[in-house]
Structure 1
Amino acid sequence: MKVSIELTLTPLKDDYEPHIVDFIKLLRASEFTVLENPLSTQIYGDFDKLMPFLNEAIKQAFQAIDIAVLNMKIVKTDRSDYKPDF
């Protein structure tokens, strides 16, 4: 089953940017399609492969940060080729 997942990592500390960059680089280094915008990062792939990868990636990010919030939305379809038609 293909899924599209939107992630927003928000470290609750003054030097937040390096932690976000490290998380995005970890996602980019994966086998999955990764797209970014200024507010979030989207990752696309097969649910059964993507979720174990994200479990480890999120764990790694959280271990490097004292306190953080991660917002995640999951859509049951691959929307990586979405183009607005308006």
Structure 2
Amino acid sequence: MELSVELSFYPLQDQYKKPILAFIERLKQELSIEVIPNRMSTQLFGEYDQVMSALSRLMKNSFEQYGTAVFVAKFINSDRRPKG
């Protein structure tokens, strides 16, 4: 099953940009997931199990590395990649 995710990451610290950019870079290293960042969120596309496994692992890593943070996500069980 294909999955599309819109994800926002809010580290609860004054220097919030570095953790966000590092998280996006780690997502981009997941070869089985297409990652499209923008100014408000990051979109992820791929096979359900691969996307969810990567999110679980990388979110846990972010909590351990940066402390308290908020992740907000929307999940759609289809491929909603922009066409064109």
Q: For the residues of structure 2 that align with 1:46 and 1:58, how far apart are their CA atoms?
A: 18
Unaligned runs of 5+ in 1: none
Paired position in structure 2 for 1:26: 26
Aligned to 1:14: 14
CA RMSD across the alignment: 1.1
Q: Which residue of 2 aligns with 1:42?
A: 43
The CA deviation at 1:26 is: 0.4
Residue 55 of structure 1 corresponds to: 56
**1:71 corresponds to:** 72
Q: What is the TM-score with the length of structure 2 in the denominator? A: 0.92
Distance 2:46 2:53 in 1: 12
Cα separation, 2, equivalents of 1:66 and 1:48: 26
Q: Deviations over 1:7-56 (max 9, x none)?
A: 10001110111100110000011111110110000110010221111100
Which residue identity is paired with 2:28?
R
Q: Give TM-score scaled by structure 1 length.
A: 0.90
CA displacement at 1:82 relative to structure 2 = 4.3
Identity level (%): 34
- Ranges in structure 2 where 5+ consecutive residues have no aligned partner: none
Query: Per-residue deviation at 1:71?
Result: 0.3
SS in 2 for 1:64: helix
The structure with the largest alpha-carbon Rg is 1
Partner amino acid, structure 1, of 2:21:
V
